[in-house]
Amino acid sequence: MIRHIIALISGALTVAAIVYMAKLDIELEKLKKIEEIIEKSKLEVPITKTAQSVQQQQKEEESEEEKQLKMLKEKAGNISAFEVSPLYRRNCASCHGVNGNGAVGPKLIGKSKDEILQALKDFKSGKRKNYVMYGLLSNMKEEDLISLAEEISQFDEKLQKATNK
């Protein structure tokens, strides 16, 4: 009976996390549109004494807008740090974060492919007890587990590349 309750609660949390991730995706699209609008609205002004003050004011406004965009992106949890596969997004992102930084589930960044693959196999076999992980992995093929392990093991490298742009 308790297992069923725990499984029900875990399922509800998973659904809530998936809905939350969908909302974050919508917010990301809004941010992208805002960024496009900002880029289109930039004006070239000839530099004169009065134009210099106008240009300075525009830079201050742009910097304020950039700060607001940065805050929104941080609030959204680094949504667009780098691309992830649909397999990861659908099965893992709601608990482990879009880029593996952890949310409900633990942080995945920095783990090796072998370490991740072994953990996935242990959850799938029931050796490690976690009803949500077992539910997600029980019908997954071996090649999907290997693909996820490979992808997740590269998150640290991808994040470093994305932040050094």
Q: Given CATH 1.10.760.10, say whether it is the number of domain 82-165.
A: yes
Q: Which two tokens stand for residue 95?
A: 């608990």
Query: Cα–Cα–Cα angle for 64, 74, 55, nearest 5°?
Result: 15
Q: Which two tokens stand for residue 133?
A: 């992980």
Q: How far is CA 75 from CA 28, 60, 68, 79, in A?
A: 11, 22, 10, 9
- Domain regions of the chain by residue span: 48-77, 82-165
- What pLDDT score was predicted for residue 78? 47
Average pLDDT value for residue range 60-79: 61
Each residue's pLDDT tens digit, 28-65: 888 888 888 777 777 655 555 566 676 677 777 777 76
Each residue's pLDDT tens digit, 87-108: 888 888 888 888 888 878 888 8
- What pLDDT score was predicted for residue 71? 60
Inter-residue contact 67 to 147 (CB < 8 Å): no
Contacts 24+ apart (CB under 8 A), 16-25: 17/94, 17/95, 17/103, 17/104, 18/94, 20/94, 21/89, 21/93, 21/94, 21/98, 24/76, 24/77, 24/79, 24/98, 25/79
